[in-house]
Structure 1
């Protein structure tokens, strides 16, 4: 259940940026009872170009989990990754296949660059090893199809790093929608606006980045699916780089529209245009409108609700943060129902691939 405080919807809510969500989750983990598993779990890490913190931050609450091996593409990168893992007993490898064969991990976290991800995921699943991967699973439709086939045929389970559905504000929004207060969901809108940041070589090449839709889009598409519980059936997308040659192939403006299975619409906007002077690196927003009301989140207002049944209000006491990695472990080893299923992972992957295909063809693409 959630508790609310009546008041001005423009009042000062908690300014939750993404790094604060993760810091909050880590702090909560430190105070929470450890997550026990039936036996010791040996994990290996491939790369550090993705959100490695989603794997490493929960480790203090996972006494049965140990990083035993890690792999990266150069000696310098390997040394950097080793320092982040902070386990002198873990072995470093420049060859990920050799690492998988010699260290024999129970589970692999794949957080390399987007272009190399599908290959690492396939190597893992083909050995029957559980795999949790950064998003996207692949940057081409053909590679995505290979990953999906491998996952269906492997003894290893697959998940993807979609942490925002475990963040307090979006959990609160889901509770409001599940309560029926805003009625049937018909329109979803989302935003992710980032500071341009320092140049990142792998992100500036299509061969290693894919696209901004494929890299950032999964967050919003997953939030649409998580909160609204409605599949997307068609996508139309525009994405391009405007007046920022230093970003190379990386698109700095993206717009997308999705048809919902119930006839409704979802729309997103993403950019690398947030001013450097802004207090946070990103500005995330989510709005869900239904037949009876609206629930939305912005950093300025927090989570707010207005409906036919109540006055405008802000939800002040949010649910505790969860962890996508802990959820995956609990599903595999403790038999708990997953808050993120592989079917949801595949739907998000199919939707972003359709949107990316649309941006290159100039036509709407079926999901």
Structure 2
């Protein structure tokens, strides 16, 4: 890989959705009318629904979810007349569609993605794409076979703070990135039953770790080549198989090191649902982001300072549409998607085997 830069909670997701809407400064025009549907309304569906008012050529025509009431509620603002199904296979057979957004539970996602690909529909899916390597291998083969486009809901790389970190590295302000430290800490809150079983959840590392794995690659330009991990559930017996603490140590392609720690231990009294942090230490300086302090930078040539002039927020869904229908190079490539899934599976495997695993 070149050393240059490579191309949960409803409250948080509502904020993300609103930001996604605001990110579209002008309507994106497409060659014709695009008919979309949703499968499973749980997840980052706001990334798809939020920008719709600024997408005059996109129409949400149908939604499928196990709960018809949940489906109706989720799309009421976007299109109260959207047809509602409780079986996505029936929807795929009856509706004339161009693109499908897929959320729902982790364990059911791969089958839904594959069904859409076999119908030759473009797909933007929640993460991870599946809970086993074999799931992603089948999806990869189907994308190639059917000649359709696929994206995955990793919206954090489109957020101003992480775009700013990427720009800092691109400009060479901190030199070569040698170490990264990442954190995701969430409130536990009520969790659906599927998250309490490994067979339908797949693990905390692929479920939320995939965000930071993508961000570490995106901001630093480094590749994560080996992983050693630990994962556990401490307390909260009602959560059964769901790990609430994990830690992974990665080796970088240049010999550097990255760490990722995650937990579901953030107190309910905390002001925000999540506490995400990312620190990049390079040969000439350090750049980091956390919500409490914003983006900060210190180098051998400058005193510590907060970066207040951040890049504008972008929209993953708008970027995907622009790439599929207007030929623009996507900001999130298929290679990025495959690697994010593969690295997380390797990190989970490292925890299960108590060994170092190549990614």
Asked whether the 8 Å contact 1:129–1:155 carries over to 2, the reply is: no
Q: 1:106 to 1:21 in 2, by over 3 A?
A: closer
Q: Which residue of 1 aligns with 2:332?
A: 340
What is the deviation of 1:24?
3.2
From 289, 293, 305, give the equivalent of 1:313.
305
Equivalent position SS for 1:296: strand
RMSD (CA atoms): 1.4
Alignment CA distance shift 1:204-1:217 (3 Å): same
Looking at structure 1, the residues matched to 120 and 15 of structure 2 have their Cα atoms a distance apart, in angstroms, of: 35
Residue 147 of structure 1: how far off its partner (Å): 1.3
TM-score norm. by structure 2 comes to: 0.93
- 1:203-222 aligned within 5 A: 203-222=195-214
Q: Does residue 320 of structure 2 align to residue 325 of structure 1? A: no
Number of the residue aligned with 1:23: 18
Partner residue of 1:144?
136
1:34 to 2, 7, 27: 27
Provide the C-alpha distance between the structure 2 equivalents of 1:326 and 1:27, rounded to a whole number of angstroms. 12
Which stretch has the larger CA shift, 163-172 or 234-243? Answer: 234-243
What does residue 82 of structure 1 align with?
72
Q: In the alignment, what sits opposite 1:66?
A: 59
Q: Give the whole-Å Cα distance in 2 for the aligned partners of 1:297 and 1:320.
A: 16
Are 2:189 and 1:197 equivalent residues in the alignment? yes
Partners of 1:88 and 1:275 lie apart in 2 by: 37
Q: Which runs of 5+ in 2 are unaligned?
A: 1-11
The verdict on how the C-alpha distance between 1:19 and 1:300 changes in structure 2, with shifts beyond 3 A counting, is: farther
The whole-number CA distance in structure 1 between the counterparts of 2:201 and 2:183 is 20
Aligned residues: 346
> Is the 8 Å Cα contact of residues 190 and 268 (structure 1) preserved in structure 2?
yes
Is the Cα contact below 8 Å between 2:14 and 2:46 reproduced in 1? no
Structure with the bigger RCO (C-alpha within 8 Å, sep 6+) is 1
Residue 269 of structure 1 is matched in structure 2 by 261
Query: For residues 220 and 65 of structure 1, what CA distance do their matches in structure 2 show?
Result: 30
Deviates more, 1:287-296 or 1:355-364: 355-364
Tell me by how many angstroms 1:18 deviates.
Answer: 7.0
What is residue 48 of structure 1 aligned with on the other side? Answer: 41
Q: Secondary structure at the match of 1:313?
A: strand
Conserved 8 A contact 2:181-2:258: yes
**Contact 1:117 1:138 (C-alpha < 8 Å) held by counterparts:** yes
Residues 308-348 of structure 1: CA deviation (Å, up to 9, x unaligned): 12121110121111111111101001111111001110011
- CA 1:219–1:178: 2 relative to 1, 3 Å: same
8 Å contact 2:23–2:315 — kept in the other structure? no
- TM-score, normalised by the number of residues in structure 1: 0.91
Counterpart CA distance in 2 for 1:89 and 1:156 is 28
Is the aligned partner of 1:97 residue 2:92?
A: no
Q: Is the 8 A contact 1:42 1:106 kept in 2?
A: yes
Q: CA deviation at 1:27?
A: 3.0
Which residue number in structure 2 is paired with residue 7 of structure 1? none
Query: Does structure 2 conserve the Cα–Cα contact (< 8 Å) formed by 1:78 and 1:93?
Result: yes
- 1: CA distance between counterparts of 2:16 and 2:211? 14
Correspondence for 2:356:
364
Contact 1:21 1:321 in 2 (8 A): no
Structure 1 ranges of 4+ moved more than 6 A: none
Segment drifting more, 137-146 vs 280-289: 137-146
Alignment partner of 1:234 is 2:226? yes
